[in-house]
Amino acid sequence: MGIELILGIIAASLSAFIGGLFTLLTKVAFPASQKYYDKNPDSTFSKFLTLFFRLEKENSKSYQERISDSLKNLKNATLDIDKVVEEIGSISKEKQETIAKLETELKTLEEKEITMKERIGALEKVPIEAVKHFEDILKRGDKRSARRDYLLFIGGVVVTTIIAIILNLIKWKRMKYCAQHAAIINFMPQRK
C-alpha cells in the first residue's frame, strides 16, 4: 500500500504543477508572445507560438475602414457574379441555337425517311420478273466492261512497248552520231 500512496501523491503534485505552470504561462508568457506575433507574424517562431497559444493578429483598422473594405469586396463579388451570369446567358443562347439546328436537321431527316419508305414501298410492289430482268442487264454490262478492260490493258501494254522501242532506236542513233562527231573532233589538229 505504500507504493500506491506514494504514486498517487506524486501524480497529484505533478498535475498541480502542470496546471499551475500552464496558468503561469498564459498569464505571463501570452502577452509577450502576442506582442512578438504582432510584430513578426510570418516568422517560424511565431508559427511555433501559435501551436501553444491562440494568437491572432490585432486588427488595427477602424470600423469605417473595415466597412469600406467589406463594401469593396462585395462590389467585386457582384461584378464577378454579373460576369458569370453573362457567360451562362451566352451558353444558354448557344444551346438554344444548336437545339434549333438539330430540330431542323431532324425534320429534314424525317422527310428523307418518309421518301425512302415510299421508294422502298414502290420497289416492293415491282414484280419479281422485272427485278430478274434488271439483274440480267447489269450482269451483261459487267461482262462487257470486263472484256473492254482486258482489251484496254493489252492495248496499253502493246502501245507502251512500241513507244519504248522507238525511243531506244532514236537514242541509239543519237549516241552513234555523238560518237562519230566526238571521233572527228579528237582527230582534228589542235589550234594554238
The string of pLDDT tens digits covering residues 126-144 is 677 776 777 777 776 666 6
| 92 in the same domain as 36 | no
CA distance 138 to 140: 5
**40-75 per-position pLDDT tens digit:** 767 777 666 666 666 555 556 678 888 998 999 999
In a domain, 132, yes or no: no
Domain span at residue 185 reads: 145-192
CA distance 84 to 149: 68
Task: Kindly give the parts of the chain with pLDDT less than 70.
Answer: 1, 22, 25-26, 29-30, 37, 41, 46-61, 126, 131, 140-145, 176-192
What is the total count of domains within the chain? Answer: 3
CA distance 33 to 57: 11
| 115 in the same domain as 70 | yes
CA atoms within 13 A on the CB side of 8: 5
| 115 in the same domain as 94 | yes
CA distance 29 to 49: 10
SS3 (DSSP) at 176: helix
| 83 in the same domain as 100 | yes
| 68 in the same domain as 28 | no
In a domain, 139, yes or no: no
| 150 in the same domain as 113 | no
